Chain A
Amino acid sequence: MIAGAEPINNSALRPPHSERGFVGWVRANLFGTWYNSLLTVASVIVIGAILLFGIRWVISDADWTVIATLGGQMIIGQYNTELACPSQNCFWRPQASLLLVTILLGMAWGVAGGGLTKRIAIGISVALAAFALLPYSFERMGMDVRLLLAANIPAVGLGWAIARYTPLGTGRGIALSAIAVFLVTLILVHGVPNVPGLEPVPVRHWGGLMLNLLLAVAGIVISLPVGIVLAMGRRSRLPVVKLLCVVFIEVFRGVPLITLLFMSQVLVPLAFPENFPQNSLFRAGVVITLFSAAYMAENVRGGLQALHPGQAEAARALGLPGWQTMLFISLPQAIRNVIPAIVGQFISLFKDTTLVYVIGMLEVVAISRAYIQGNTEYLASAKELFLFLGLVFWVFTYGMSFVSRRVEKHLGIGVR
């Protein structure tokens, strides 16, 4: 060592106080340049004004009683009225369906074994059970209703146990259970003739958020396979099939859904024989599903087009027949790559279920509107009601896009 040389202080100096911590963050992100500062000041004024005005309105001026008064009608519409369900209590049927869904969630948690799925399953069941504590009188919200809501917590546990200790605890088991749950839900809600306690409820009395969710789930489940078939048809080498698919897709994409729905009441009955059993809900479901399938087809087609042709060529070279190439090589990769677009289409399908109001179905928005128009004393608080409905839908749609983002991350889409 050279004499006299001082040991070098290796530790670098910390950045000056103005560049780190909260002050540094504010300087970097809010007041970096003069126009940034100007933008910050302008934003603060605008956001502050909105918040000030909004919070004051929410706390003092807004009248939220209309939401409490509507209460269960928003969830099931006219389903449990004397008209729909004479001299019996039908509320337990949607509630029992809900319990089945919670059991499914529990099974998903059991299979995934913790992490996000666990938090979602427990969070949803606790939130549902919390509805049992709503401060309604017992005449409006009976003990049976509250107990069935509270049963969501044991249900999620039951689902977890089923997944852990029975052979149903696999991905395939859950998929089969989900189909079974959907069918059982339909039977429960629709009812079975001549079975006491399960008297059929005419579909025109179905309503509220229940109707939106039923339409959305049925639409989502059916429109994806239909969309895939249409996408394959559009790429087909058979001119007739291709032409039919192109015409179908372009017509359904070119016309507003509301027009299609409204025409479904007029045209769809004509397309079936005269005595074919059908009802307006069935027709609405068919139209919403086909509409969504047309968009889905374009998403899937995009995925198929983006696929490198080498994939299919390699599969053919290995001796796979054409349909196996499509089913096991092309489609899985294509769909995996367009998951964001597909989930976006699911979300828009869910939002579109509000449009069945045109054919007189009382889904959640329609029944709220009808209530406002029937009880003019609530006309002034219509804004509050629709704001609330907006938030309800937001929770569902944002939840869907959140889960989709997690799935994409899990599959590593966009990462090479």
Chain B
Amino acid sequence: MAVAWVDGRNVPVADAADKAAELLSASFCPVFSLDTDVHGTRAAIALARRVGAAYDQLDGAATARETAQVTDKGGLFIAPGEARRRADLIVLVGALPAAHHDLIAELAATRPDLGRRGERRFFLIGTEAKAPAGVKAVRLSCGEGLEAALAALRALLAGRRTALPLRNFEAFAGALAEARFAVFTFCGQSAGTLALAMLQGLIADINRSRRASALHLPASGNGWGSTLASAWTTGFPLRAGFSGAGEADFDPWRFDVARMLAEGEADLHLVVAGNPKRIATPPAAMPLIVLAGGARPVAGAAVAIAVGAPGVDHDAVVYSSRTGTLAAVRAERPGVLPSAAAVLRMIAERLPQSEAPPC
């Protein structure tokens, strides 16, 4: 099986890694887009440090919004396991990615068993949010967007008047008054930074006299896992970049890799992704290095190396939105394809003046 290509030609992996190292060494402004496990992220950051690259989540806007809530404001959060055992009122704030529908269905099929035992009630906020199949939820909406509905809800709970009525507010206020622990789910895919900040304001208000918290169901599990690994490795979340001296900096605008590519700041794009179809064809003059699943060359890629899928082809550590922390996953079908981490380390070893990666 072919596993590595240079300009679309089959080559040994070592040759492809040589070529990748050569391109990275020649680049003035390399950028990395990641969608990988924790060890893949650690290896990618080590490589980024060596070559002075910026790095971001692939399609990282939603992950960046979730990050901004923590870096700019903070908030109150709850672990998924604790929500399952304790929440008797669940509010789905905005639409959730399909990956989280099973968890919501599971919450609907179970009852809280800690504290006062009772039914779990569900509400939805926003006109576009839909309850997963089998989940009965009452919609709170004022006919405008998610931000407006959250603002109206917060104002009404504080006893203030609003310009627009919020449908089903009384039902919610009654449910909240009876609830022991309210949990609001959120995801950066459907909620913008204003909505996330308003939600945390609402939760802070409720916590003056009662208990409530927010359940983070990330837009990308890999995105959040990489955010955590980046934080301990460099002190910063994703959208960080390294100077030539190996010093990290964090700037969610400056190191937004999609922006850097669109505005022509970058001169090399390295992508680590499970699915090669997610990778856009680059401009002709832009070298593209791809580490992705699949046994085909990637259109327009100067270098492509097939890597195994975490938890499928090789053991891995990934963020589990089911437990709210990092989890070890065993390979479902251990295979011969190397991990992204192994390939990234192989490339780093081939850089000139090679030294041991710092992580």
A binds B: no
Interface residues of B (CB under 8 A from A): none
